[in-house]
Amino acid sequence: MKKTRERHTLKLLLTVVLAAAMSVNIAACNSAGTVETLGTLAPVSTDVEQSAATTVILETVSTDPTPTSTPTQTPTPTPSLAPEDRVVTVSFAGDCTLTQDYRSGNKSFDKKVNGDMDYCFQNAAAMFKSDDMTLVNLENPVTDKTSHKNNQYVFRMNPADLEMLTKAGIEAVNIANNHMMDFWEDGVKDTRKNLDDKGILWSDDKYTSIFTTSKGIKIGMVGLGNDTNVSAVTGLIDDLRKQGAVIIIASCHFGAEGVYEPTARQKKIAHELIDYGVDIVVGTHPHRLQPIEKYKDHYIFYSLSNFCFGGNYSLKDPDSVIIQCDFIMDFDGSKCVDYRLRVYPYSQTTTRPGNDFCPKPYAWESEDYFRVMKRLNWAQGDE
């Protein structure tokens, strides 16, 4: 019996040893790359190992909601121009012929002016000097040449008399008009040179000019004669933009003389210019006032009539005007974003009848004042 118990005890010991050995073997197998699944051994999946590793990593991540990052705000551009410097004021007046007919024997204009370079514009100079730029149509060549066309009227201005413009604060002129060729091409060349010598900017349908204001804003100018199509100047307008002009003015010497309404061609030309990107169209030539039109938020002055016109000794219609346009620029002066007009009715003379070649303003709300406003189709409350 003792042997049986011992044998039984030994058997139990052997069973325990065998069980321990199997546990060690299984552990060894597990460490060698197998796992026990439902009593069978299967190869370890690499994906499981990666998932296990990932799980460990995720366990270290906070379960609090991930805060939403605040987007970086785009800084508001700092205006480079003060509000008052964003306004560019340009004054416009009509036809100026600062002489009489070359063949005239009485020399009425020269006698009346008598060498006084302040005389003609004495009632407008303060306004012209207070703006950024003034532009008029100069309807006479400036030359010493004597060979001329045989037109009904032939005009020739003494180069020294250009001081009338500079002393009055007139910085720029349009010379694309029907009298510029009165002394042929030589007269045109002389005019350009004499204006350059006096520091007066000029433009026509072949050459442009740019005026730079004291605030650094560039105003580009181009001129069109009565026979000039818009297609002839689109390249010039493009060049002005390339040179940095942010305001473009087109001076148009167009239409029919002696009438108060624009022709169909005037409207077509003006609209095409605005469509091409011109900021404002300024018309002369009819010698009469014609309505102001607002087309696609841009202004068209179809005719400003005469302003100081030495060729007329007796005036059938003395009505004239000075229009000031405020070009409102954006915050850095890179483009014009709005326009504001001020209209000043004028007479071409201080005496009636006759013409003393000295324009003066009409009295506020006088009969003459309202007549000019009506012809311009403008009212005090329009701006």
Per-residue pLDDT tens over the stretch 311-346: 999 899 999 999 999 999 999 999 999 999 999 999
pLDDT at 51: 32
End-to-end CA, the chain:
132
Q: Which residues of 205-223 are buried (b: 16+ CB within 10 A; e: fewer)?
A: beebbbbebeeebbbbbbb
What are residue 349's DSSP bridge partners?
A: none
Q: Which residues of the chain carry a pLDDT beneath 50?
A: 1-72, 74-76
Strand, coil or helix: what is 132?
coil
**What residue spans in the chain does CATH classification 3.60.21.10 cover?**
85-382
- Beta carbons within 8 Å of 316's beta carbon, 6+ residues apart: none
* Planar angle of CA 357, 366, 316, nearest 5 degrees: 40
| pLDDT tens for each residue of 130-182 | 999 999 999 999 999 999 999 999 999 999 999 999 999 999 999 999 999 99
Write out the CATH class of domain 85-382. Answer: alpha beta
Alpha helices in 217-337 (DSSP H): 234-242, 264-275
Tell me, yes or no, if the pTM score tops 0.85.
Answer: no
pLDDT at 18: 41
Contact 250, 275 (CB under 8 A): no
pLDDT at 381: 66
* Planar angle of CA 180, 186, 190, nearest 5 degrees: 75
Contact 253, 176 (CB under 8 A): yes
What are residue 170's DSSP bridge partners?
A: none
pLDDT at 61: 38
